[in-house]
Structure 1
Amino acid sequence: MKQVRRSDVETWIKQMNAAGLAPGTIKTRYVNVRSVFRAAVKDRVIGSDPTDGVRLPRGRRADVAMSIPSPEEVGQLMAVADERFQPFIALCAFAGLRLGEAAGVQFGDVDFLRRSLKVSRQVQRVNGGAIDVRAPKYGSERVIYLADSLISVLAEHVTAHGTTGKNRWLFAGEGDDPPHQNTVGYWWRKTLRDAGLTSIKLHDLRHFYASGLIAAGCDVVTVQRSLGHAKATTTLNTYAHLWPTAEAHEARSGVDHVRVARPTRRTPSRLGCGYG
């Protein structure tokens, strides 16, 4: 058996980085491998841990790494998508659902009268192409309020195609199951090709939704809850670069008001500066 050296680990990390894997994915894989080597050292199977001293690639800035489709591109995707896949795209672009969350939507999750959607599960692919229906990521259970147009898209989909299986899945997979990543990936690649678009990931539609909320003036907590982030810091770390224009405008307005009115003890609270 070949002895693994530190240089081998560094080469492996460089290969993952060159393949375009996200820093978080590389870190997760590295931590898993490192735990095996550390256990081997503890059990005296090997003399030293080849992962010691290895540095991981730094995370990319969100504003550089993130790709946000334009409204025109989202419109193109909706226009050419298969009518059975169109509402899937709509849920990702106009409700911010992750792939697994959209795949796991059941008819009973949609409240057509109150125009809301309850996110309470996700679909994940496991070995052999099977699926595993599980709770969404920690803190991601949420109720999302939907636009009238999105409610109409979902209602038309159910009217035309019904639901799947005893659980009444909104989207069909194999047999009575909902779709998994492979099925959705096929639909997505076909839609991109038909729209004449490239380099857009399905997850980018979630960024499109978040950017729309921010452009509409939603605050951090509202965006956090709509996306199902466990912490507001996650939202800020991902989307802070989309807020500067609004923040600058509010800051200038606040400063101008203070100069004219002269600040009193109650002025800062009234300006939303967090004092008082």
Structure 2
Amino acid sequence: MAGNIAKRADGKWRARYRDEAGNERARHFDRKIDAQRWLDNVTASVVAGTYADPKAGKVTFAAFFGEWSARQVWAPGTVLAMSLAARSVPFGSKPMKLVRRSDVEAWIKSMDAAGLAPGTIKTRYVNVRSVFRAALKDRIIGSDPTEGVRLPRGRRAEAAMSIPAPEEVGQLLDVADDRFRTFVALCAFAGLRLGEAAAVQVGDINFLRKSLTVHRQVQRVNGGSVDIRSPKYGSERVIYLADSLVDLLAQHVAALGGNGSQQWLFVGEGDDPPHQNTVGYWWRKTLRDASLSGIKLHDLRHFYASGLIAAGCDVVTVQRSLGHSKATTTLNTYAHLWPTAEDRTRKAAESIIAASLGRPDDAAQSDADSASVLRSRYPERASSRAT
């Protein structure tokens, strides 16, 4: 970047330079030292890669988001989430270069004061942060005002997560009607998300290999219509099914009749698979019939994950079974369920005692029974949820 300073006839000092596009930028100062300082700062920002076009930064947050979001390849759910986050900021009409960290902090504080959950606040913050990061890469702004902003603390995973007891899952299966029992089983014993379970077709089940392929999901759009699309990024997977679940699926498919491999396993309105509203109705009815409350359908996915962990499955196995794109996601969600060093130490010590006294290793036998492990971890679940 070439720059120079010259004294004008009116006594002002003019500092100027040409940016990467060849456009001349200039400012006038009363003192030469101030002109030199400004030129040095511009030069330093170019060297550091933080230079931003002064004129480009005049675009408002709302205007930049509108132009930037139109270029993005997003799923319908992402479009809604990003638009909601962008509309929630109080600095939408403010030029991008004038948005300060204090503005972002005030926005976070207002959401917290309005009673929004920490998870909701974090989601909106991350979405808005992506807008500023895009502006930073486009040299619209020289720094990101969202960087390092502190968010309200969320609940610890072990406190926020609700895992049904095995007896509760059994109650739900007992009272669920024929069309929904298999749906509940796929969530509880295969870890499928609601949209994934709703999008299962007969051809996705390999009865010979006892496996299920997940490569689509159902999303609700435009207030009620069904949209079939690929599952969440990294969630395409093959799930290996227990024999009992294979038998239940075989009975379900037999009851459907032979309409081909592309037949939906579950049907909502018309020939479409069910969407969230329909499944929600089925779920609430099943909860009432089971005299249970406080359990979400997604809690069955946690139930499945906790069962895998209790049975001794490692992080990668659980990650692949759940369709997490990264092992860190699995650890961030379920790390508190894996045995700790203290657990392993006690088990090893129990083995030593058992060998010394010539009796069976009770700890090892107990760990082999996953259902018992789950009941011992969550003894209060069944009694607290019964209505």
**Which bin holds the TM-score, normalised by the shorter protein?**
0.7 to 0.9
2:332 is the counterpart of 1:237: yes
1:12 is matched with which residue: 100, 111, 118? 111
Letter in 2 for 1:11: S
Identity %, equivalent residues: 73
Other-structure match for 1:199 = 294
Pair 1:26–1:127, CA change in 2 (3 A): farther
Q: State how far apart, in whole Å, the 1-side matches of 2:341 and 2:242 are.
A: 24
Letter in 2 for 1:253: A
Other-structure match for 2:162 = 67
2:172 is the counterpart of 1:77: yes
Whether the aligned pair in 1 keeps the contact of 2:108 and 2:151 (CA below 8 Å) is no
How many correspondences in the alignment? 242
Whether the aligned pair in 2 keeps the contact of 1:210 and 1:227 (CA below 8 Å) is yes
2:171 is the counterpart of 1:86: no
Other-structure match for 2:67 = none
SS at match of 1:188: helix
Other-structure match for 2:197 = 102
Other-structure match for 2:228 = 133
SS at match of 2:114: helix
Query: Looking at both structures, which has the greater relative contact order when contacts are Cα pairs under 8 Å and sequence separation is at least 6?
Result: 1
Whether the aligned pair in 1 keeps the contact of 2:108 and 2:121 (CA below 8 Å) is no
Pick the structure with greater CA Rg.
2
Deviation at 1:113, TM superposition (A): 1.4
1:118 is matched with which residue: 203, 213, 236? 213
SS at match of 1:211: helix
Pair 1:223–1:51, CA change in 2 (3 A): closer
Q: State how far apart, in whole Å, the 1-side matches of 2:314 and 2:131 are.
A: 43
SS at match of 2:288: helix
Letter in 2 for 1:133: I
Q: State how far apart, in whole Å, the 2-side matches of 1:203 and 1:228 are.
A: 14
Pair 1:162–1:216, CA change in 2 (3 A): same
Deviation at 1:26, TM superposition (A): 2.7
SS at match of 2:219: strand
Other-structure match for 2:32 = none
Letter in 1 for 2:327: A
Q: Which moved more, 1:187-196 or 1:161-170?
A: 161-170
Q: State how far apart, in whole Å, the 1-side matches of 2:277 and 2:322 are.
A: 23
SS at match of 1:244: coil
2:253 is matched with which residue: 158, 162, 177? 158
Deviation at 1:135, TM superposition (A): 1.0
SS at match of 2:179: coil
Pair 1:231–1:53, CA change in 2 (3 A): closer
Deviation at 1:54, TM superposition (A): 6.7
Q: What is the 5 A alignment of 1:29-48?
A: 29-32=124-127
Pair 1:181–1:102, CA change in 2 (3 A): same
2:307 is the counterpart of 1:212: yes
Letter in 2 for 1:75: G
Whether the aligned pair in 1 keeps the contact of 2:157 and 2:334 (CA below 8 Å) is yes
Deviation at 1:28, TM superposition (A): 2.4
Letter in 2 for 1:12: M
Whether the aligned pair in 1 keeps the contact of 2:216 and 2:230 (CA below 8 Å) is yes
Letter in 1 for 2:111: W
Structure 2 residue runs of 5 or longer lacking an equivalent are: 1-88, 92-102, 135-144, 353-387
Pair 1:210–1:22, CA change in 2 (3 A): farther
SS at match of 1:128: coil
Other-structure match for 2:55 = none
Q: State how far apart, in whole Å, the 2-side matches of 1:246 and 1:8 are.
A: 42
Pair 1:221–1:8, CA change in 2 (3 A): closer
Whether the aligned pair in 2 keeps the contact of 1:118 and 1:144 (CA below 8 Å) is yes
Letter in 1 for 2:189: F
Q: Deviations over 1:71-126 (max 9, x none)?
A: 00000000111110000000000000011110110100001111100011111111
Pair 1:115–1:38, CA change in 2 (3 A): closer
Letter in 2 for 1:139: G
Structure 1 residue runs of 5 or longer lacking an equivalent are: 40-49, 258-276
Q: State how far apart, in whole Å, the 1-side matches of 2:258 and 2:230 are.
A: 21
SS at match of 2:213: strand
TM-score by length of 1: 0.76
Pair 1:14–1:93, CA change in 2 (3 A): farther
Deviation at 1:27, TM superposition (A): 2.2
User: Cα RMSD between the aligned structures?
Assistant: 3.1
Q: State how far apart, in whole Å, the 2-side matches of 1:246 and 1:68 are.
A: 23
Letter in 2 for 1:62: A
